[in-house]
Amino acid sequence: MLILALDTATDKGSLALMEEDRLLGETSLESPGTYLTQVLPGVEALLTATGRRLEEVEVIGVSAGPGNFTGLRIGQATAKALAWARGLPLVPVPTMEVLAAQFPFQPHPLAVLLDAKRNEVFFGLYLCPGDRPRLVEGPERLPVAALPARLKPPLVLTGPGLNVYRQFLEEALPSDLLWAPPEMRHPRAGTLARLTGLRLAQGLTAPPAQLVPTYLRPAL
């Protein structure tokens, strides 16, 4: 089963092509402001680099949100169009679940923080004792100032919200919280691809024409 996975929910975009247990290729890049000109050429470059053709792709996984409004719209527009045009199943995967799944076999709860702008974060608390995370709190939108009351050790902190609100969080949170290493704070499309396969096996697909992002905030 050849899976194409596409994440543009944050300030970094990530694309991956996975076949069974093989991650054929993965590429992640900070977005210099516009995914619109990069996503489809990125998909094409990934297919070329791995020697595959779009016709061989069997399922498309996409970051469901919450996250960056414009990023989500462009990513989902692309994924929906590809799935619809090729008659492929489309699997939306919650963005925070992708971030939590990057910490398998983890004894501590995982607090995922995404930037929601205006001094707010999207927050979700996960447990990931195996290789698949389970949501135990949230997802919800919170003022950054409300986080210290919610985040008690032992806890692993992850997500791009850490970089955005680092200064406040470093000052306001207990010093014994575990900060994810910087390279693990953004969604990897390789992990999104794995979760896509698991969700597809459970029938958790979305009709390409109807899918809308999970915003957790009224769209502007």
Residues near a second copy (CB under 8 A) are: 12, 16, 18, 20-30, 32, 49-51, 101-108, 131, 156, 163, 166, 178-184, 186, 188, 190-191, 193-194
Q: Which CB atom, from 117 or from 166, has the smaller least distance to a second copy?
A: 166
Q: What residues are paired with 145 via a beta bridge? A: none
Of 105 and 203, nearer to a second copy (C-beta) is 105
- CB of 32: closest distance to a second copy in angstroms? 6
What is the smallest separation between the CB atom of 9 and a second copy, expressed in angstroms?
Answer: 16
What is the Cα–Cα distance from 95 to 18, expressed in whole angstroms?
18
Q: What are phi and psi of 25, to 5 degrees?
A: -165, 150
Please, are residues 8 and 42 in contact by the beta-carbon 8 Å criterion? no
CB closer to a second copy, 101 vs 211:
101
Nearest approach, Cβ of residue 15 and a second copy (Å): 10
- Do residues 32 and 173 touch, judged by C-beta distance below 8 A? no
Q: How far is the CB of 162 from a second copy (least distance, A)?
A: 9
Alpha-carbon distance of 71 to 209, in angstroms, equals: 18
User: 3-class SS at 209?
Assistant: coil
Strand 2-7 with 12-19, pairing: antiparallel
Residue placing its CB nearer to a second copy in the complex, 96 or 189: 189
